[in-house]
Amino acid sequence: MFESNTTDLLWEVFFQCTVDLDYTSRHMLLFFLYLIAFVVGLAANGVVVWVNWPQRHSSNPEVFCTLNICVSHLMVMTVMPIFLLEVMMNHVWMWGKFLCLFTNFIYEFNYYSTSFFLAYLAVERYQMVARGPAAARPWGPDEKRRRALMCAGLWIFALLLSPVLVSNVQVVEYHTPGCYLLPDRNYALWMVVITMTSFTFQFLIPGAVILTCNWLAAQALKRSPELRSSSAVDVKMYHVYSAVFIAHWLPYHIVCLLIMVDDLNPLILSCDSTNIVYYSAYVMLALSHFHYITNPVLYNFLQPGFRRSLLRLVARYVRGQTQCSAGGGVEVGVKNKVRSAAAGPRKISNASTSQSDVD
């Protein structure tokens, strides 16, 4: 009797779902989230690259790091329309295996490289604060070479980590074709490897570096009024940088870890809990795409120096367009005068009623 009741209870808890999830509303929400991330992200990152590209050889680490971050974001913008169409078609994949692998590779590449350059930027900012305003930053061939090696190393490391997931992505046809993460062999083992690699190298290590360096920089600025007056970044902004990184990625990784736990032992989570986790996974992934917007805004548009550079470029562009228009008008006028002179004196028609032709 006891065993029968226990079995019935287990069946009811783990295998019978009672929660009713609205997939239609989620479908609409995902579409609008992807659309906003694409449109605003493309514009914001394009503007940042346009403004910072002439300064790409500058000694300023913020320009260097944000330029690399926004270039990485623009790479994702090239494949974002495919993700948008996939969401619009309710995750039906119509573009073959190559694009399934390629789009996921571009996303994973950006996924890691962005976190690496954000961590590198946090380290550079802390070093600038630690050196103080009086210490001039050396900038010569050795420093340029060191930065180039660091840049190449971060990109290559992101490149090496990307195949961990991409090699297990494939097009699978159930009722309709879909592009899924689905390892062929040792499914549970590969899901653990993929999830822990992502959690460790995209979130845990970069997050620890970002939080530590931003906290140390903020504490140094609080202790020194001289540093605080000379710093281009407000003390509170260091905490905002850390909080935004955590807010973007912690919910997503929590969901991924719960999915991994469910793969290892399906009896740990109830049926309702499992459904909620998988339901929210797509939403968390879509929300994480908003770092394409917040990164250029936080690290560029909120900085007075960037806004001044942007206004100068816009003013120069408008002035150039105005001069081109004025030059074109002068050129047309000169051509008309030359043409009139070559044609000789104007002949007056007897049938004309124009005031200029009547004596």
CA dist 292 and 43 (Å) reads 10
Q: 250-278: per-residue pLDDT in tens?
A: 999 999 999 999 999 888 888 889 999 99
pLDDT given for residue 333 in this prediction: 52
Q: Which of 42-51, 286-295, 314-323 has the lowest mean pLDDT?
A: 314-323
| Residue 336 pLDDT exceeds 60 | no
Residue 18, class by beta-carbon neighbours within 10 Å (0-12 exposed, 13-18 middle, 19+ buried)? exposed
41 assigned to some structural domain: yes
Using a cut of 0.75, tell me whether the model's pTM lies above it: yes
The Cα 76–Cα 285 span in angstroms is 14
For residue 1 the two structure tokens come to: 């009797």
Residue 140 lies in a domain: no
Q: Tokens 């917007």 belong to which residue?
A: 293
Q: Between 132 and 20, whose confidence is greater?
A: 20
Q: Which residues of 276-296 are buried (b: 16+ CB within 10 A; e: fewer)?
A: bbeebebbbbbbbbbbbbbbb
CA torsion, ordered 18, 19, 20, 24, to nearest 10 deg? -140
Query: Does residue 266 lie within any of the structural domains?
Result: yes
Q: Does residue 46 surpass a pLDDT of 50?
A: yes
Q: Looking at the domain assignment, is residue 345 inside a domain? A: no
Q: What does residue 169 show for φ and ψ, rounded to 5 degrees?
A: -95, 140
Helix orientation angle between 271-288 and 2-15, rounded to the nearest 10 degrees: 20
pLDDT at 224: 76
Mean pLDDT of the region 9-13: 44
Segment (H or E) for 172: strand 169-173
pLDDT tens digits, 308-321: 888 998 888 888 87
Identify the DSSP state of 202: I
> Could you tell me if residue 339 is inside a domain?
no
Predicted confidence (pLDDT) at residue 7 exceeds the cutoff of 50: no
Domain presence at residue 139: no
141 in any annotated domain: no
How many domains, in total, are found in the chain?
1
Q: Torsion angle of alpha carbons 238, 156, 250, 212, nearest 10°?
A: -30
pLDDT at 11: 41
Domain ranges, residue 265: 20-132+146-312
Q: Which of 39-53, 193-207, 245-259, 345-359 has the lowest mean pLDDT?
A: 345-359
The structure tokens 């309702």 sit at: 272
Instruction: Give the domain CATH number at 88.
Output: 1.20.1070.10
Would you state the pLDDT for residue 318?
A: 86
